[in-house]
Structure 1
Amino acid sequence: MKSKIYHFTALLLAMAVMLGAISVPGSAQVSLSGVSGSSDEAADSAVPVALPKDLTPETIRQLVSTLSDQQVRQLLLERLDAVAAQEGASGAQGPGTLEFLGSSLLGVVGLVEDAVFGIPQILSRLHEAGTQYVDERGGSGLLKVTAYFAVAIVIGLLAENVVTRLASKWRRQIEDMQAPDGLLQTLEVLGKRLLLELGGLLVFFAVTRAVIELLAPVNDRPLLPLLMTNLIVMPRLSIAITRFLFAPTRPDLRLVTTDDWTAKFIFRQQLGIILLIGLANVIIGFQELQGIPFTDSALGFWLLLISILWLCYTLYRARHGLSSIVLGGDDEATMLERGVALAYPWFAIVSVLLTWLVVEMILAAGRFDLIDDGQGYYTVGILLFAPVFDTMVRGLVKHLVPPMRGEGALAEAAYRSTKRSYVRIGRALLATFIVVAIANVWHIDYSNLATAGLGVRIAANMFEILFIVAAGYLVWEVVTLWINRKLADEQTAAGLDLEAEEPGGGEGGGVGGTRLSTVLPLVKIAAQVSIITITVLIALGNMGIDITPLLAGAGIVGLAIGFGAQTLVRDIVSGLFFLFDDAFRVGEYLEIDGTVGTVERISIRSLQLRHHQGPVHTIPYGEIPKVTNNSRDWVIVKLKFTVPFDTDVNKVKKLFKQIGKDIMEAPYAEDIIQTFKSQGVYDVNDVGIIVRGKFMAKPGKQWMIRKDVYARVQKIFAENGIEFARREVRVKMPEAEESQDNAGASGAAAAAQAAIQEQVEQEMVEAGAKPA
C-alpha cells in the first residue's frame, strides 16, 4: 500500500513539475500555504519547497521522498492554478487596433497635461537635485569636480592639437585647394578634413576620459563623461559631418546641390538643435543620478518638444534648398522627380512629428525600454539624411555608368536612359537599406515575427511582401536596363537616326535594323510580363493564398481563349515564323500585297508599315501572303540619261567613270558598295540615245547618293558641252496671203495643239497607262 501511495504521489509531483516548467519556466522556488490536516502536515506545508534546477526522474523521486502528502497536494493545486491563469490570459482577446490607438493617444494627452501642470515644479526639481549634489560633496567638492573637468578638457585639447600638428601637410593641402577637378578630388579633400576632425575628436575623447578616470572621485565619474559627451563631443561630431556634406564656407567642395544660404542656415540650426538635445540629456541624466526619475519632471518633455519644433522650423525655412538637394541639379528630371523634390520638405516635417508622437505613445504605455537607446533620434536622422544618400547614389552613377557608345541622338538617348535606370536601381537599394536600418534601430527581429501574435504576423507578412516587391522591381530594372542597352547598341550600329524627318530621304526604304533589334522589344515585353506574374504569385503565396488553383484557372482560361480566338492565335503563330525566318526587321522597306512602307513597329500579332508620304498601315501577320523586302543587304540603282544623236558615247562613258571616282571621296563613300559606272547605250528612240549608269549602295542610303550623282552628271555634262536631248515639235506653215495671216495663225495653233496631244498620248502608252 505504501508503495502504491509513493508511486501515485511521485506521478502527481511529476505532473505538477511539468506543468510548472511549461507555464512558468525559471521559477526556482514555490511557497506552500497550509490547509486542513495534522499539525505536522500544516507545519510542513508552511515551509517553502525548493525545486531542483535539473528535473530528472531521479531528482523527482528524491524530492517526493522528502515531501509530505499535504505538500504534494498543495504543490499540484498551485501549479494547476498557474496553468489556468496563463491559459485565461492567453485566451483573452487583446484590444483592437482602434482601441489601442485611442488609448495611446489618450495617454499622450495625459502626458501633455502632466507636463503643463508640472511646469511650476521644473525649477524646484532642479533646485532639489542641485542641493542634494552640493550637500553630498560640499562647496569645496563642487569646486574640485569643476577643476577636474577643466583640467581634463585642457589636456584633451592639447593632445588633439598634437595630432593635428602631425597632420599639418593635410591641413595645408585642404586650405590651399581651389576648385577641385571632379568628384574624386573633392571627396579626397573632404575625406582628409573629416579624418582630421574625427581623429582629433577621438584623441580628445580618449584622453579626457582617461584623465577623468584618474582624477575625478568615483561618485562623480558618471556625471563628467555625461557633460563631455553631450555638450562637447556630439556637437563637434555633428559639425564635422555637416561640414563634410554641406561645406558652408567652401561652395567648391559642396557635395549636395544647394545654395550658400541654405548650407549655412542648416549648419547653424543643426548645431543649435544638437546642443539643445545635449542639454536636455545632461539635465535629465543629472536628475537621475540624484535619484529623481525623468518621469517626475516635465523638463525633459518640454526640451524634446522644443527641439522637435525647432527642427520643423528649420525644415520649413530651408524647404527650397532641400528640394534642390533632392533634385540634385538634374536638368533632365522627370515631372515625378520634381514633384517628389517639392514634397520632400513637407514629408520630412510630417515624419518628424509622427516620430515624436510614436515616442510619446511609447512613453505613455510605460515601455521605456523601447526607446532607451535613442530610437526616435536615429529614425529622424535616417529619414532626414535620405536626400544626402540619394545624392550619393547619383554621384556613384555618374562614375559607374558606362561611357556613351556611338554618336548621334540615338546614342545620347540610350545613354540618358541607362543613367536613369542606374539611378532607379540605386534608389530601390537605398529604400531597402532605409527600411532595414529603421527596423534594426527599433530592434525588430524578423526571425521571431512569424511566431508572434496575429497582428505582428500580419506586419511580418507585409515586410516580406515589401521585400518581394522590391526584389521583383530590381529584377525588372536590371532586365530592362540590359535589353535597352543591347537594343540601343544594335540600333546605333545599324545607323538609325532619331532626328531624321523622313526615313529613306522621303522615298521610303530607310536603314533596316538588325535581327536582334527586331526581336528584343518582344523579348522585353515577355520578360516584363513574366517578372510581374512571378512577383505577384510569390507575394500571394507568402500571404497564405494557395496559388495552385490560380495556375490551373489561368491554363483553362488560356485554352478557352485559344479556341475562341483562332484568328489571334493564327496571327501570333505566323508572326513567330516570320521572325524565325528573319523575313523583315524594323526600319526595312517592304511591299506586302501592294502595300509599301517602312517597318515602324512590330508587335505580337501585327506590324506597322509607314508609307513615305505619311500613312501608317497595320497588317496582321496572318493576312500576309508574301513579303517583298527592298532593304536587305544591298540595293542597285540604275540611272538613265537621254543625249542627242551626235553625242560621243565613249566620252560619256569616261565622264561616268570620273564621277564614280569622285563620289568615292565624298562623305557618304562608306555607304557605297560598288561605285557609279557606265552601262553603255541602253536604248535609242526618236529623241536621242539613252545611256545608263548604275551603283550599288547600302539600303536607305541610295536616295542621297542618287541625288548627288544627278547633280554631278548635270554639272560635268555642262562643262564638256553635252546637252540632254528633249522632244521638239516643228510646224511647217504654207505661204499665204496677208489677208489669210489670221487664219494661218489659227491653223498653226491647232496643229501645234494636236501635235502636243499626240506626244502626251505616246508617252502615256510607253509608261503603261491608258490614255483618257
Structure 2
Amino acid sequence: MIVRFVWLWAMSLLLLALPGAGAAQSLSVGDSGAPASVEVPEDLTPETVRDLVAGLTDAQIRQLLLERLDAVAEEQQEAAAEATEAGANLFYHATTGAVQQIVISVQKLPVLFERQPQAFVTFYETFGGSGILQMLGYFAIILAAGFAAEFVVNRLTRNWHLSSADPVQDTSRSAFRTLGKKLCRDLLGVFVFVAVARTVAFSVLPPEMLPYGGIILFNLVALPRIAMALAGFLLSPKQPEYRFVNTDDRTARFLSRHILGFSLLIGFMLAILEFNGINGLEAGETRLGFWLNLAVHLYIVWMAWRARFGLVDMMRGADDDVSAIEERVSRAYPWFAIAVSIGTWWVVNIMVSYEAWELLSTTPHFKSMALLLLAPAMDTAVRGIVRHLMPEMSGEGVVAERAHIAAERSWVRIGRVIVFGLVIIQIANFWGMSPVRIATGAVGEQFAASIIEFLIVVATGYLAWEIVSLVVNRQLAAEMTASGAVPDEEAIGGDGGGAGGSRLSTVLPLILLAAHTAIAVLFALIALSALGIDTTPLLAGAGIAGLAIGFGAQKLVTDVVSGIFFLVDDAFRVGEYVEVGDTKGTVEKISVRSMQLRHHRGLVHTLPYGEIPKITNYSRDWVIMKLKFTVPFDTDPEKVRKLFKKIGQEVQAMDLYKDDMLQPFKSQGVFNFDDVGMVIRGKFMARPGSQFMMRKEIYNRVKAVFDENGIEFARREVRVNVNAEGHEEDAADMSRVAGAAASGAVQAGLAGQGAAPPKDGP
C-alpha cells in the first residue's frame, strides 16, 4: 500500500512538471489490451492528478508516462533542429551568401548599363520635354520660396550667427554654447526651408510630380545641409577658436569639405534608387545600389586614411592626463573607422543575401555607421562635460590632486559606459529591433534575450564598481587631506614619527577592496545565470574551497582575525610611526593579512598580524620631547629656567609652530650631576611629527641665548696644579704628566662619543 501511494504521488508530480500537462489528453488502453479512453482534464491540480491516477492501472500509468515523455523528446529534438538550422543558415548568409551577392553584382554590370538608360527614357516618355521643363519651373519656384523663408528666419536670428567679431571663448562651455546657437540656427533654417518648400510643392505640383519633389528636397538639399550644420558644430573649420574637438585646421577643413561630399554621395544614391523605383526599375534588377554603396564605403575608407593623424588627435583630446589605454585607443581609431566602414558594407551584403530589401530601404546601415564614426566627438563631449561639471579640488597637496584626477577619470568612464549603452540601443532601433529581438531570427529569442541580459548585467556591475570607487576614493582623499596623512620629510626632520591619518582613512582601502570583490563575484554569478549557466556548483565549490582554506591555512586565518581585532582596537593607522618588537617604521600600507612599515631610512618591513605580540605607537595624539643640557657647576639654575621659559614662549609664538606646540618649552631643573657639570633638562609637548623641527629650533635658540648670557656648555677637562718653587726636573716631569693626562682625557672623550651615538627615530 505504501509503495503504491509513493508511486501515485511521484506520478502526480511528474504529470504536473511535464510540458503541456495542462492540455487535455486522451489515452486509449483497454483493461486486457482492449482500447479504453482516458481523458486528462485541462486544468490539473495535485488533487485532480491523484484522483485521476488512482483510477488507472499500472499499465495505463506507464502508457501515459511514455506518451508524455515521447512528446517532450520530440519537442526538444525539433527545437534543437531549428537552432542548428538557424545557426547554419546565419553562417551561410554571412559567408557564402554575401560573397555570392558580390559575384551577382559583377555579373549584372551589363544589365545595369542596359536598363539604367531605360529608366531615364521612361521618365522622358512620362512627362515629355515640355513636362520636364514645367517640372523644372515648379522646382525653381519651390526652392525660391523655401530659401526666401529661410532668409527671413536668418534675419530674425542674426544674433545667433557666429562671426569673427565675436569675442574669443576661453572655455569649452562657452564654445559649446556659441556653437550650439549656430547649430540651432542652421537646423532651424533647414527645417523652415523644408516646411515651406514642401507646402508650396503640395500646392503647385501635379500628383505625378510630387515624388520627384521629395527626392530633390530631402535627398539632394536637406540631407547635405544637415550634414554641413553638424560638421560646422563639431569642427568649426573657419574659426578654430570655437572648435569643440581637438584637431588642426587642415584636418578640420578636410573633414568638413568631405563630409559635404559624403552626404551628397549618399543623397545621390538615395535619389537615384528612388528615381529608378518610380520608373519601374527595381534595385535588385541592376544591383546599382551595390555599386553606389561600395562607393560610399570606399569614400569613408579614403577619408579615414587621409585624415588619420588628425583623427588620432581628435580622439586623444586636449587633456594632458591621457592614460595609456586612451592613447592606444586614439591611435587605433582610424583603423576602427576603416573596419566599421568595411564591416557595415559586409552587413549590407548579408542583408541582401537574406533579401531584406524593406529593412535596407530605411538605410539603417548608414545611420549605424554614422553613429559609430561619431565616437571621437561623443568621447570628447563626455570628457568636456565631466571637466566642467566636476567640483573644484577638495583640499590641497598631492593626495587631493590624485583624488581629483581619479574622480574625473571615474566619471569619464561612467559616461562612456552610458554612451555606449545608448549607442547600442539606438543602433538596434535603426535595424527595427528591440533589445530582446536582437538576433532572434538566427539564434533564437531565448538566446538573444540572454545575451542582452548578460550585457546589461555586466554594464550595471561596471557602473557599480566605478561608483563605489568614486565615492570611497573621494572620501579617502578628504580624510587624508584633512589629517595631513602625507608627511613632508623636510618638515619632520626625516626622523619618522609623523602624525597618521584618521581611522576612516585606514579602513577605507580595505572597504574598497571588499566592495570590489563583492561586486565582481555577485555580478559575475548573475551574468553567468543570465547566460543559462547553473551557478549552484560554483557556490558549492566555493564553500568547499573555503572550508579547505579554513582547515589547511590556519596561520592565514590567524593573521586575518588578528588584523581585524587590531583595526577594531584602533591600534595603528596609515601614516603613524609604530614599533613592533625590534622593528620601527611608518605604517605605509595595510592588507587583509599583513602591514608594511617603512623605516625612516627607507627599509620596508612586512609583518603578518598574527606575529605581532604588541604595538608601540609613537604618533597618537601628542608626544613629549625631553632635552638635556650640561652646564658648569657654577651656573645659576634659576637663570637657566628663565631663559628656557623665554625660549619656549618665543617658539610657541612662531606661526610655524603655534598650532603644533601644545605645551611650551620649559625647564625641569637640575636632573643630575656628573663629573663634568650639572645636567639641566627641559621639555615640551607637541603634535606627532612636528617635534623634530621644534627641537632644532630650540637647540639653536639655547646656543644663542647661552652665548649672550655668558653661559658655557660643560666639557670634559683636566686641571693640573704645579708648584713654582720646585725643581726644574720636577716641573718637567709634572708637565709631561699633565700632557699625558690631557691627551688621555681627549681620547676618552672621543671614545665616549663614539660609544654612545645619539639614537635615531623616536
TM-score by length of 1: 0.83
Query: Over residues 239-291 of structure 1, what are the superposed CA-to-partner deviations in whole Å (9 max), with x where a residue is unaligned?
Result: 10110111001111111111111111100111101101111111111111011
Q: Matches of 2:428 and 2:516 in 1, distance apart?
A: 31
Confirm or deny that 1:610 pairs with 2:594.
no
Contact 1:729 1:756 in 2 (8 A): no
Contact 2:628 2:682 in 1 (8 A): yes
Partner of 1:64: none
Partner of 1:14: none
Q: Matches of 1:628 and 1:89 in 2, distance apart?
A: 71
Partner of 2:255: 266
Candidates 462, 466, 481, aligned match of 2:455: 466
Q: CA deviation at 1:704?
A: 1.3
Partner of 2:61: none
Contact 1:504 1:511 in 2 (8 A): no
Contact 1:503 1:612 in 2 (8 A): no
Q: Which residue identity is paired with 1:565?
A: A
Q: Which residue identity is paired with 1:493?
A: A
Q: Matches of 2:470 and 2:168 in 1, distance apart?
A: 35
**SS of residue paired to 1:544:** coil
| Structure 2 counterparts to residues 710-721 of structure 1, below 5 A | 710-721=699-710
Pair 1:686–1:274, CA change in 2 (3 A) = same
Partner of 1:575: 563
Q: CA deviation at 1:547?
A: 2.0
Partner of 2:117: 127
Q: Matches of 2:556 and 2:752 in 1, distance apart?
A: 50
Pair 1:204–1:738, CA change in 2 (3 A) = same
Partner of 1:339: 328
Partner of 2:11: none
Partner of 1:589: 577
| Structure 2 counterparts to residues 163-562 of structure 1, below 5 A | 163-171=153-161, 174-448=163-437, 454-497=443-486, 500-501=488-489, 504-562=492-550
Partner of 2:139: 149
Q: Matches of 1:704 and 1:423 in 2, distance apart?
A: 43
Confirm or deny that 1:159 pairs with 2:149.
yes
Q: Which residue identity is paired with 2:412?
A: V
Q: CA deviation at 1:534?
A: 0.2
Q: Matches of 1:89 and 1:725 in 2, distance apart?
A: 103
Contact 1:257 1:325 in 2 (8 A): yes
**SS of residue paired to 2:589:** strand
**SS of residue paired to 2:659:** helix
Contact 2:428 2:438 in 1 (8 A): no
Q: Which residue identity is paired with 1:281?
A: L
* Mean Cα deviation higher: 256-265 or 613-622: 613-622
Contact 2:668 2:682 in 1 (8 A): yes
Q: Which residue identity is paired with 1:653?
A: R
Pair 1:682–1:373, CA change in 2 (3 A) = same
Partner of 1:709: 698
Q: Matches of 1:416 and 1:766 in 2, distance apart?
A: 49
Pair 1:623–1:141, CA change in 2 (3 A) = same
Pair 1:678–1:265, CA change in 2 (3 A) = same
Q: Matches of 1:403 and 1:710 in 2, distance apart?
A: 42
Q: Which has the higher contact order (CA 8 A, sep 6+)?
A: 2
Q: Which residue identity is paired with 1:274?
A: S
Partner of 2:42: none
Q: CA deviation at 1:747?
A: 5.1
* Number of equivalences: 683
Confirm or deny that 1:672 pairs with 2:661.
yes
**SS of residue paired to 1:370:** helix
Contact 1:174 1:193 in 2 (8 A): no
**SS of residue paired to 2:693:** helix
Partner of 2:741: 751
Q: CA deviation at 1:685?
A: 3.0
Q: CA deviation at 1:92?
A: 6.2
CA RMSD, Structure 1 to Structure 2 (Å): 2.9
Pair 1:117–1:707, CA change in 2 (3 A) = same
Q: Matches of 1:362 and 1:332 in 2, distance apart?
A: 43
Q: CA deviation at 1:640?
A: 1.7
Candidates 607, 623, 626, aligned match of 2:614: 626
Q: Matches of 1:766 and 1:366 in 2, distance apart?
A: 96
**SS of residue paired to 1:546:** coil
Contact 2:647 2:665 in 1 (8 A): yes
Q: Matches of 1:470 and 1:674 in 2, distance apart?
A: 57
Q: Which residue identity is paired with 1:294?
A: A
Q: CA deviation at 1:449?
A: 6.2
Contact 2:672 2:678 in 1 (8 A): yes
Partner of 1:46: none
Q: CA deviation at 1:738?
A: 8.2
TM-score by length of 2: 0.84
Q: Matches of 1:756 and 1:90 in 2, distance apart?
A: 102
Q: CA deviation at 1:571?
A: 1.4
Contact 2:87 2:442 in 1 (8 A): no
Q: Matches of 1:670 and 1:88 in 2, distance apart?
A: 83
Q: Matches of 2:491 and 2:588 in 1, distance apart?
A: 10
* Mean Cα deviation higher: 128-137 or 516-525: 128-137
Q: Which residue identity is paired with 1:540?
A: L
Q: Which residue identity is paired with 1:280?
A: M
Q: Matches of 1:689 and 1:304 in 2, distance apart?
A: 102
Pair 1:744–1:263, CA change in 2 (3 A) = same
Q: Which residue identity is paired with 2:127?
A: R
Q: CA deviation at 1:95?
A: 4.0
Partner of 1:639: 627
Q: Which residue identity is paired with 1:144?
A: Q
Partner of 1:43: none
Contact 1:476 1:531 in 2 (8 A): yes
Pair 1:615–1:92, CA change in 2 (3 A) = closer
Q: Which residue identity is paired with 1:644?
A: P
Query: Over residues 177-236 of structure 1, what are the superposed CA-to-partner deviations in whole Å (9 max), with x where a residue is unaligned?
Result: 121132232122112111111111111101101111111110010111111111110101
Q: Which residue identity is paired with 2:155?
A: R
Q: CA deviation at 1:766?
A: 9.6
* Mean Cα deviation higher: 581-590 or 109-118: 109-118
* Mean Cα deviation higher: 204-213 or 736-745: 736-745
Pair 1:161–1:454, CA change in 2 (3 A) = closer
Contact 2:717 2:745 in 1 (8 A): no
Percent identical across equivalent pairs? 46
Q: CA deviation at 1:102?
A: 4.2
Q: CA deviation at 1:705?
A: 1.3
Q: CA deviation at 1:749?
A: 4.9
Candidates 681, 687, 711, aligned match of 2:676: 687
Q: CA deviation at 1:720?
A: 3.2
Q: CA deviation at 1:714?
A: 1.6
Confirm or deny that 1:109 pairs with 2:99.
yes
Contact 1:503 1:510 in 2 (8 A): no
**SS of residue paired to 1:106:** helix
Q: CA deviation at 1:174?
A: 4.8
Contact 1:323 1:341 in 2 (8 A): yes
Contact 2:436 2:445 in 1 (8 A): no
Query: Over residues 354-397 of structure 1, what are the superposed CA-to-partner deviations in whole Å (9 max), with x where a residue is unaligned?
Result: 11011012112212122221110011111100111111110111
Partner of 2:67: none
**SS of residue paired to 1:181:** coil
Q: Matches of 1:536 and 1:413 in 2, distance apart?
A: 30
